[in-house]
Structure formats: structure tokens, C-alpha cells
Structure 1
Amino acid sequence: MNTRVLVVDDEPLARRGIAARLARHSDMQVVGEVGNGEAALAAMVAEAPDLVFMDVQMPGLSGLEALRLLSPRERPLTIFLTAYDRYALHAFEVHALDYLLKPIDDERFAEALDRVRDMLATRRGRQQQSRIDTLLAAQADAPSFATRFAVRLGHRVVIVAANGIDWIEAMGDYAGLHSGGKLHLLREPLHRLAHRLDPTRFVRIHRSTIVQVDRIAEMQALSNRDSLLRLHDGTPLRASRTYVDALRATLDGRPIVPGHRD
């Protein structure tokens, strides 16, 4: 991964010297060269470089002052450049990674870049681990619902995808999975299976019936407060008034009323 570098120095010759040295390192990419503190501040905000070579003394806003105007989290890794070592203490007050005295020694320059690589590798490693930890935490918190079922059919096992199921009916110790005009018998009672189904997709409409919501084509209220559902394939199903409110909530995208899945 390339390291994006901003070069800041009020002397054009000094900037060209830094850029020339960086060109010898294939993992270093110069994204900008500026000659004063104000331009450096704007470039750091706009370009968000990984690393900045920053001259300490410049007309107007100094390199130290430009960095102090950024929050610690916004500051890129910084290597200060100066002809005077008396600025070293102030440089490290803004958490500079390194400090190079002019004229710059090639070996010392390469050493500073190695420090940059080590620091970025550690930082990126932590960021990657943080992303992995966040992902794992999100997966741990998210409920896990069945996406397929293994149904025995003689000496064979048939895999029935949950998203292919139209509706499910209770059949004693079995659940009848109606999928694409076929009936598959799953050896699991309906009340137990109900807890393994995604409640945003499957809703109980009767003590003995569960339907996949997006299979419902229409819903008609009956005189006894039950409702008659018709699926897209024409199958009629009766929804008990006990479950109608939960059904309507699911169809409207609202939270399911607790207790209607048991």
C-alpha cells in the first residue's frame, strides 16, 4: 500500500530535493508540494496525507503552528525539517514522528522512512483488527435465522431454501413446507420452527399456519374478525383474528406484537 506524502517547505529547491529522494522509494507517493503554513493546513485537510515533511520555519504560519491548528486525530505522521535543532522539543510536542536536520543525510532520510513504514503498518493493523472486531461484534449481536432446511425424502436429503417457502402448516410432529407447489415434510413441530424463522419475512397467521410475507397477494377481512389471505399462486389461507394485528404490523413494516409467534 502506497504512503501518500505532502511536502511542505518555503524553499522550492528543498521541496524538489525531498521529492527526488521520495521518488527512489516505490511505496511513497507525493500528493502535493506547498510553500507555506497556510497552504500546508489547507492541503492536510483536503488531501489527508499519511505523511508530511514539514519545514519548521516559514513566513507567516510556521509548520508547528499549522499542525497545532489540527486536532491530534487529524494530524498526519510528521517529519520536521529544519537547519536548527533547537526546535526539536517543540516538534515532539505535536507528536512528530521524526526530525531531520538540513542538509539532509541520505542514510538518515531512509531511516526516517523505515520508521514511517513501521508506524503505518502498526496503525493499519490496528484499524484492520478494529474493523474485524466490529464486524464480529455485530454478527454476535444479530439474531441468526435459518436460511435452508434439510428434508429427508426416502434415502435422499432435499435442501429447501427458506426464501423459496410459500407457507408452512403444522402436521403433528412435522412441519409441512410448501415451496413451489411441492410439499416437504420437516421433522420439527411448527411452534419450534417458528423461532428459527426471520420474523421480518415469516409471520404466523394461525396456530397451525405460517406464511412468507412477500407471498401474500391480498387480504380480505371476514365478519368474525378473521381474514382471508390469497397468495400470489392463488392459495387461500385463513388468518385467525388472534394473529391479524401482528400480520398487519408485519405487512406495514412495524414491529411484531410480542407473543404472537408462540
Structure 2
Amino acid sequence: MMPVPITVAIVDDEPLARLALKTRLAHRPGFELVVEYGDGDTAVQGLATLRPDLVFMDVEMPGRSGLEALRALSLDSRPMVILVTAYDSFALQAFDLAALDYLLKPVDDDRFDEALERARRAFLWHRKNEEVRLPAPASWTHTFTIRTGTRTVLVRAIDVERIEADGDYATLHAGGKTHLVREPLHLLAMQLDPLRFQRVHRSAIVRIDMVEELRALTNRDALLRLRDGSLLRASRTYMPALLEALDRHKSQDVSQARCG
């Protein structure tokens, strides 16, 4: 039995931007582009009628913006959303709309794949809840199995403070020790719980609660200081998702403190 494809809509007023997304999607199995729109007003009418599973929504468009278009849709007709924009100032609004991800133009291939993986997991989860017979969603990685010679070491994901790229492999930093994982960083980023971990650079993933200070840099990147004193650079491509994650983490801390 063939898996059910995830139907996709693209909303962007720039034809070249739509073409770039279409080209990428054409090389990703399991996703089927069903419609594209060049403005927010047309998108509201079309999305409510066609009800695609996922929409890539440009934030700023002439007339009705992408955010306004999403708010105009009822919750039961609103698809999964990946926001696409040239600006990084809409992260918190994306969070309010429960967007799956927030991509900055020009879209990076690795970030595009990470966003699609989030959509795939969310799609399978929703289909499961609707009692449709589909494979159960893959769980996030909870334990890393590290083999060094004849030894096997188990490292819990919650103990990992950061992960850094090491060529085609990656290095885990946990409890003052390092462990080499024979898997590239971009694949690890798709396997880790986004509520706990965020990719902050092409070469680094950080556990969200390890971030103690964020200092903006002039090129819209940021310098992160972790609780163990480590410094990491966060690139502008990953900043919106990181800011959203940090804000969500802060909100959870406040809620827990009030309950306590």
C-alpha cells in the first residue's frame, strides 16, 4: 500500500520564490504540490476549499499578508504552516499561529529538509489521531548508542548539551565528555525533539535550556553563551526558530513556577 502523500500549497507573491519551493519539493518524495497562489486574498478562498495538508506561506505580500490570511481561516480549515520570509522579526507571531517552522529567504536546503521532516511527523500524528491506518510516527531519539572498538556506550539525549559537526560525523558534548556519532549533523537535527533541541548553525545543535545569554551581532547572527561557559555562533538562518524555542521554554518555566 502506497503511503498517503502530504498535499502542499505554496503562497508567495514572487514567482521566482514559488518556483524555488516547487523545484525543491519535486525532489522530496511523499509531498504533492496541489496549488499555488500569488496573493493572500486568493489564498484564503482557495485554502478553505481545497484544504491541503501543508502550506508554505510567505509572510509579507501586497494586500493581505500571509499572517492575516492564516488568521482569516477557521482553525478546522487551517493547514499545517511553514512560514517563509526574508525577515526574522515575525518569529513570535509564527509561534502564536502554531507554525511548524519559520524559514528565512534564501531558503537553506538543510533547513528546508528539517521543516519537511517536522511536517511529516505532524501529519502522521494527526492521521493517527483520526484513526487512519498509517505507520505510527517515529519517536524522537532518546538514547545515542556510541561504539568505540569493542565498547558500547549509551548516552541519553537529555544529557547532551550540544552537538557539533565533525566532517560527515558529529560530536556529542555531555557531562564534560565527548562522543563521536557516525551520522551527519543535519540527520541528527531531524531526529531530536524540537522542544528540547534546536539547530543554531550549519555546524551546531544546542539543548535549549543550556542557553544562558544571547547577544545579537551586527550581521543578524548571534553569539550564544551556554551554562557551561561555551560560546556558539547562531546564524540568522536559524535565529527565528531559536527565538521561538527560547520564548516557549521561558513560558513553560513561568507556568511551572506559578503551579509550584
Q: TM-score, normalised by structure 2?
A: 0.49
Structure with greater contact order relative to length (CA < 8 Å, sep ≥ 6): 2
Which structure has the larger Rg?
1
